């Protein structure tokens, strides 16, 4: 929850007619000294009962509109190539699959191991 206190972390919810939360989208706004600000769609979740009803698309569109209001020049998200549902949601919300990036990742030491290294 600490991230939500930061002015660059954003969270939107979707509610059903009974007032129950059925989905959310979170975004992280990053400003670069040479490019300006962009929004990354960090996570999207829609309850099974509300899937395939446009909830995900509406949440993504709301985040994109908010990013534009904040002056972001673009918005992006990574998803797995075989995640058909996510790809469909993003495409229906106006995104274009536009890259063939290769992701590199690091497995970092656990906090316990990091403490041990400091000794």
pLDDT of residue 94: 92
pLDDT of residue 62: 97
> Is the pTM here over 0.85, yes or no?
no
Print the domain residue range for 87.
2-118
The CATH number of residue 18's host domain is 3.40.630.30
pLDDT of residue 115: 56
Residues of the chain with pLDDT under 50: none
pLDDT of residue 109: 80
pLDDT of residue 112: 60
Kindly calculate the radius of gyration of the chain based on its CA atoms and give it in whole angstroms.
17
Pick from 41, 79, 35: nearest CA to 61? 41
pLDDT of residue 118: 54
Domain count for the chain, please give it: 1
Side-chain-side CA neighbours of 58 within 13 Å: the count stands at 15
Pick from 65, 91, 68, 69: nearest CA to 77? 91
């Amino acid at each position: 929850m600490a991230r939500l206190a930061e002015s660059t972390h954003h969270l939107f919810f979707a509610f059903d007619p009974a007032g129950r939360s059925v989905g959310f989208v979170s975004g992280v706004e990053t400003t670069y000294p040479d490019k300006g600000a962009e929004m990354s769609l960090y996570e999207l979740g829609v309850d099974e009962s509300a899937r395939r009803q446009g909830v995900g698309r509406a949440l993504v569109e709301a985040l994109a509109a908010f990013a534009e209001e904040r002056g972001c020049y673009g918005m992006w998200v990574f998803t797995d190539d075989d995640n058909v549902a996510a790809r469909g949601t993003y495409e229906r919300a106006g995104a274009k699959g536009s890259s063939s990036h290769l992701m590199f990742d690091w497995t970092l030491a656990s906090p316990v191991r990091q403490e041990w290294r400091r000794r």
